[in-house]
Structure 1
Amino acid sequence: MESDDEDLKLAMAMSLQANSPRTTGVSASGDKHESIDLTSDTEDEDDDDLRRAIALSMQESGNSDMQQSSASSASTTDVTKAAAVVDKPPGFMGIDRKAMELERLARLGKRKRETSPEVSSKQVARAPTANSDANETPLQYPNGAIKRTFASKYPRTDDITIEELLEADKVNTAVISSFQYDSGWLYEKLDPAKVKQIWLMTGKHRGEDVQAKRIQEWRESRVPNMKLHFPPMGGMIATMHSKFILLFGKDKLRIAVPTANMTQTDWGEVANDWQPGIMENSVFLIDLPRRHDGTVTEAKDLTPFGRELVYFLEQQEVGPQVITGLLKCNFSKTSHLAFVHSVGGSHKTESTHPTGLPGLAHAIRELHLDDVERIELDYAASSLGSINDTFLSRIRLAACGKSFGTDTAPEPNLRDCFRIYFPTNDTVEKSMGGPDCAGIITLTRQAYNAPSFPRECMRDYDSMRRGMLSHNKLLFARGRKKNGKPFAWVYVGSANISESAWGGQKVLKSGQMGSLNIRNWECGVVMPVPETKLQGLKQDDVPPMSVFDGTIEVPFRVPADEYKGKQPWFFRS
C-alpha cells in the first residue's frame, strides 16, 4: 500500500548530511556487545574531591558548550528521521572522563579489597535486614500513570519534568531507547560519571556505516560508564524509533515509555529563561519494587506486560544483564496494562508473541476489552504515512481485538468513527515555535493528495496549552461491548499512523495472508480507564472523551475543528 517518496528520501539525506551526528556512545572499549552489570545492588559514590572537580569545571565552562540541534524528520512510513544530537568535544565540560573513570575503578577496587573475604560484596548488599519490607521506600507510581511533559512558562498541571522522571539521585543504571539524542543536555540530567548508562540508537541510513562512525566518535569522547547499543537493523528495517527508559535503583525499577525523544525541546525546555516551551509530549511511567532477596522470576511467570517487555528487549538484543535486572522486580501491579511492540522485520502471523497491529489486537483480548459492538477512535500523531481506508480499518479491527484477514473491504462507516489529530498549516504558523520548530511533524503532499487519503478523518491538533506543537502519539478508544458494558483505553507510545510503524500485510495470489512486514522498531503501553470511571453512563451511549479524566490529561481541544478546506502542515526539507 505504501510507496517510498524519493523527494523525501533526498531531503532526509541532505538533512542528515547537514546535521551529521557527532557524539554518540559505546562502551569504553568500543565493543557494542560489552555488558554493563545490572545485577549488583552496590554502587559507587564519587568522593568529595571528584564532586568538587566536576562543580569547578561546570562553573568554569558556564555550560557554554550546551547547544541544541534540530533535525528535519521524515514520516516513519518512508525513511528514517534525521537524528538531532549535540556536538561535544573529548573531555565533555572540560573534564577528563577517562581519568575520572580510572579513579572510580580504583576506589571500587579498594572497597572490594576491604570487603570480608568470606562473603562477596553482592552477598553483603543482599543480606536481609529485620523489617526490610517495612523499610522499603514507598513507590510514587505503583499502578502506572500517564503524564504530559513539562512546558516552560506554561502553568503546571498533570505534567512531569525530565528531572522528576529520571530521579537521577536514585538511579544506579539507566537503559534508554530513543530516536534522537541531545547528548550534552542528557549528560547534565543523568551524569555518566555517577550513573551507568546504555543508549539504544538507530544505526542505518542509505548504506552509510553509521554505527562505526558513532563508535569512533564515542571512543574519542572518553565518557565513562556508557555503552551504545544498536538493535538489529537488517533487511527491510529502516528505523529504530522505539522510546523507553528503564531506571534501575536500589529499591525499585522505574519503567517509562514516552512519546518524546531525549532532547531538550521534546521535554519542554528551552535554552533561555524567557521563551515558552514549543513542543509537547506524553509519557507512561510505573514504579516496580525490587526483590531484595535476590529472587529471579522466570519470564514465563510474569504478567503479560512483563512478558512482552522482556520479549521486546530480547529481540532488540540488549543483553542478559538487562533482562536479569527486570526479572528481579515484581511485576504483579502491571496485570491491568499491556506492553505493545513493533519488532522490525518480517513475521509470520502465528507467532506466540504477536507484534505490530496483531500485537495490539492480542493485547486488547488479554485485557478483556474485545467483543466490541461500537467503538470511537481518536488518534493524535506527529507523522502520517500513505494511509487509506484499508489501513485505518486494520487499526480499528486491532482496537477491537480482532485480526484482519483476506477480506480487505474497509469497515462500514469507518470515517465516521475515526478521527486523526494533526496540525493545519495555520496552527503551525501561529505556534510559539513557528514553522522552524515543526521539522519533526511530517506529512507529504504526495501522501495527502492521493485520492485514497481519508481527509474527512482529519482534525486540527489544537493544544490545550495554546501555541504548543505536538510530538504525541496517542490512540484513544471508547465504546460499548456486545454485552452493553462501556469501555475506554488509551495507547501512548512511539507508533505513528503508518504501515512502517504498525506493519503491512498483503493477500497473496494463493488467497492466504502474507507475512507481516514492519520497518520500524516501536513500543507503547495500553492503559484502560478504570471501571469505576465508567459507571453511571447512559445506557447504550459511547463514553465521552471526558471519561479519560484521571487516567490521562487529553492534551488537545475536543471536539476539534475539521479541516474544511484548510491544508495540513506539510514536511519541508
Structure 2
Amino acid sequence: MDDDDGALAMAIAASLEDSKRKDVIVIDSDSEPDDPDAQFQRDLDAALKASQADPARASGMTAPADTPAMSSFMLERKKLEAERLARQKRLRGEDSTTSSAREGGDDDDDADKPPPQKSSASTSSNSGLFWDGELRPTANMHVDADKATGPVFRLTEIIGDKNDLAFAVVSSYSNDIAWLMSMFPDKVPVVLVNHPMSEGGNDLHFLSTNWLLVSPAMPANRGAMHIKLLLLFYKSGRLRVVIPTANLLQMDWRDIENYVWVQDIPKLMSPTPFAKLPKDNFAAILTDTLKILNVGHALTSFQKTGQWPGMPIHALDELRMWWDWSRVTAKLVPSFVGRHEGWPNVVRVGHTALLKSLRDMGADCPPHMKLTLECQGSSIGRYSTQWMNEFYCSARGEPSEKFTWIGNKSLREKLPYPPIKILFPSLRTVDNSVLGRIGGGTMFCDPDMWRAPKFPRDNFYDSNSKRGRVLMHTKMILGIFEHDSNFNVKGKRKGDPYDTDDDDDDEVQIVGETPKKKKREKLAGWLYVGSHNFTPSAWGTLSGSRITPVLNITNFELGVVLPIKEPEQLDEMVAWKRPARKYNLPQDVPWMQKTHLPT
C-alpha cells in the first residue's frame, strides 16, 4: 500500500447525510484503503440505495430532513449560512434574477461569443465568462474579511442560470447526492462519475430519470476514483470546463478552502474533420479521460431512452470536433489506475504526464536554474527518497534519456531528498483554526508513517491559508525557478547521481513527444492545481528500465498545469502564505486524526 487510509471509512461516512453522522467533519482521503472490502463500499451502496428508494430525495426536489443525531455543530453551520445569505441579499439589494445576470447568465447569445484573445493565460471577464481561463478560491464563510479581498467562485455561480443548461457531466470522490441534485433541474440530463459501488467497477445505472451514475473499471477495488470535474453544456453552445479541488459536498464549498479553475469554450460553426484533430492537446486528453471514466457508455444509455433528443453531444469525440480549444493554454494532467508500460503509455499519465506537459509548454526547468517545489495537499503519502527524486525529475521536465537510474535500486536508496517542501497543517495550526479539531477531518497523516526512521520530516512546512484561520483542502504544487550556486550551467546539481553527459536538453526528445523548435518564453515557474495530492498513489511509481519504464498508479486523478510568467505571481496564485513556516522539530507535529481527533 502506498498511503495510509485507516480513516477512509470515516471519510465516506461523513459525506452521507444519515443518522450516523458525527460532529467531526471528515470528507475524503485519496489513499488506498487498508482493507479492500472496507466500510467504504457498504456506506456508498447504502447512500445510493437510499437515494433510489426515496423518489423525493432522488429527484433533488427536497433536501433531506435533519435527523435527531445530526450534530449541533452542523445545525449551527446551517443556521449561520442561511443568515449570511439573507444578509448578502439585503446588502446587494438584488433578487436571484439580477444576481444571475451579474454573474454571467447566458440569456444574451452575444455574451457567449469570446472577445479577441488576450495575452494573459488567466483573465476574468466582466460578463462572468472566462474565455482565457480563471483560477479562484471557493467562497468560505470562515475566512477573515480583511484578508479575503479577491474574487471567489461559488458552485451556484459557476453553474449559472439552470434554465440555460442543456447537459452536464460531474465527477467527485465524495458526493452529497441530494444537495448536488438540487443544483440541476429535472429537464437536464446529468452524468455523475463516482467511485465504483460494485466489485471491479464499470457501474452504470440510473439514479433518477435524468441522473445516470457511472464509474470506471477498478480491478480488485484498490485505490480511489478521486477526479473532480464538471463539464457544463449550455443551450447557446458554450461549454464550461471546471476543475475544482473540492468534492461535491456542501461543506467543501463553504467550510474548508478549495480552489477552482474554470474556462469557457465556444462552439464552432462547423466541425473540424477528425483527421485534422490534434492527438495530444487538452481536448484529446479530456476525451480519453471521459472514455476511461465510462462517460461514453452513459451518453449511449441516455440516447437509448429516447427522452433526450436535444443533447448537445452524442459521442465523446465530438468534444474535439465541435468546440474551439485554441485559447486553452493550461495543460491537462490525468492519472489512471493501473500498470502503464513503455514511454508512449507512461507519458500519458501520472507524474510523467506532468513531465511531458511541462516540456510541451516550455516550463521545464531552464539550464543553470534550480527547481524548488512547494506541495500543498490534504493527504500525506508514504514518502521515500526514491519516489521523491523520481517525482522531482519529472517536475524538472527531464528528458527520458536522463532516467538511467530507474532500474538501479541501490543507487536510488542512497539519494538525498530533493528540494521539495511538503505543506501540511501542524497540530498548532489546526487548533488555531476557526473550526478547530472538529474541522480537521479533511486532513490525513498516519502517525506510523510520521514516526518512521527515514520519513522526510525535515521537508515539512506549515500550511496556512492567505485568507485567515481556515483549513485548506486545496491541492497545489508550485514549481519555482531559482538561480543557485549548487547548480552548474546545465542545470545539474553538483554531485547529482542523476547527472549524465548528455548534450543540451533542448535537443533531446521525450518518447511520445513531438519535437519542437521554438523560442523559449521566460517563466518564473508553474502551478499545478487539481485532485492530485502529493502522494505515490496519485502520481504513480516508476520501475522497469529507461528503455521500458513501468508506471503503477493507484488512483484516478485530474488537474491542470499553468505557466507563471512573473515572480510576483508566485505569491498571488497560490493558496498559502509564503514563505511557508518550516516545522520546528520536534515541537511541531502534523495534524493526525488517529492521534488528535476528539473522542
TM, length-normalised to structure 2: 0.68
Cα gap change, 1:256 to 1:199, in 2 (>3 Å): same
5 Å-filtered alignment, 1:423-462, equals 423-462=425-464
For residue 430 of structure 1, report the CA deviation from its aligned partner.
2.3
* One-letter amino acid of the counterpart of residue 288, structure 2: Y
For residue 529 of structure 1, report the CA deviation from its aligned partner.
1.6
Provide the secondary structure at the position in 2 that maps to 1:326: helix
Deviations 1:404-438 (A, max 9, x none): 43356469996572111100112112222222222
Structure 1 residue ranges without an equivalent (≥5): 24-65, 98-131, 269-277, 534-542
Asked if 1 retains the 8 angstrom alpha-carbon contact of 2:139 and 2:153, the reply is yes
Structure 2 match to 1:247:
232
Provide the secondary structure at the position in 2 that maps to 1:198: strand
Which of 192, 198, 215 is the equivalent residue of 1:230? 215
Provide the secondary structure at the position in 1 that maps to 2:284: helix
Cα gap change, 1:3 to 1:477, in 2 (>3 Å): closer
5 Å-filtered alignment, 1:146-545, equals 146-152=135-141, 154=143, 155=145, 156-169=149-162, 170-191=164-185, 193-203=186-196, 223-235=208-220, 237-249=222-234, 250-268=236-254, 278-293=255-270, 300-301=277-278, 304-319=281-296, 321=314, 323-327=316-320, 328-334=322-328, 336-352=329-345, 354-372=348-366, 373-402=369-398, 403=400, 404=403, 405-407=406-408, 409=411, 415=417, 417-479=419-481, 485-507=522-544, 515-530=550-565, 533=566, 543=567
In 1: Cα distance, 2:581 partner to 2:172 partner: 32
For residue 389 of structure 1, report the CA deviation from its aligned partner.
1.9
Asked if 1 retains the 8 angstrom alpha-carbon contact of 2:25 and 2:438, the reply is no
In 2: Cα distance, 1:365 partner to 1:237 partner: 31
Provide the secondary structure at the position in 1 that maps to 2:372: strand
Cα gap change, 1:452 to 1:300, in 2 (>3 Å): farther
In 2: Cα distance, 1:96 partner to 1:157 partner: 32
Cα gap change, 1:513 to 1:70, in 2 (>3 Å): farther
Cα gap change, 1:68 to 1:92, in 2 (>3 Å): farther
In 2: Cα distance, 1:265 partner to 1:94 partner: 20
Asked if 2 retains the 8 angstrom alpha-carbon contact of 1:77 and 1:386, the reply is no
Cα gap change, 1:279 to 1:318, in 2 (>3 Å): same
Cα gap change, 1:456 to 1:514, in 2 (>3 Å): same
Asked if 2 retains the 8 angstrom alpha-carbon contact of 1:431 and 1:467, the reply is yes
Structure 1 match to 2:31:
76
Percent of aligned pairs with the same residue? Answer: 26
In 2: Cα distance, 1:161 partner to 1:224 partner: 27
Provide the secondary structure at the position in 2 that maps to 1:189: coil
* One-letter amino acid of the counterpart of residue 493, structure 1: G
Deviations 1:277-314 (A, max 9, x none): x3001111111101233556558426622221122222
Cα gap change, 1:143 to 1:68, in 2 (>3 Å): farther
Provide the secondary structure at the position in 1 that maps to 2:324: coil
In 1: Cα distance, 2:24 partner to 2:201 partner: 18
Asked if 1 retains the 8 angstrom alpha-carbon contact of 2:343 and 2:549, the reply is no
Instruction: Give the aligned length.
Output: 456
In 1: Cα distance, 2:17 partner to 2:467 partner: 34
Provide the secondary structure at the position in 2 that maps to 1:92: helix
5 Å-filtered alignment, 1:26-37, equals none
For residue 570 of structure 1, report the CA deviation from its aligned partner.
0.9
Structure 2 match to 1:106:
none
Provide the secondary structure at the position in 1 that maps to 2:282: helix
For residue 4 of structure 1, report the CA deviation from its aligned partner.
6.6
Provide the secondary structure at the position in 1 that maps to 2:537: helix
Structure 2 residue ranges without an equivalent (≥5): 62-108, 116-124, 300-313, 484-488, 492-521
Which of 547, 555, 561 is the equivalent residue of 2:581? 561
Deviations 1:517-553 (A, max 9, x none): 11100010001023xx3xxxxxxxxx4xx33366x2x
Cα gap change, 1:298 to 1:281, in 2 (>3 Å): farther
RMSD over aligned Cα atoms? 3.6
* One-letter amino acid of the counterpart of residue 460, structure 1: D
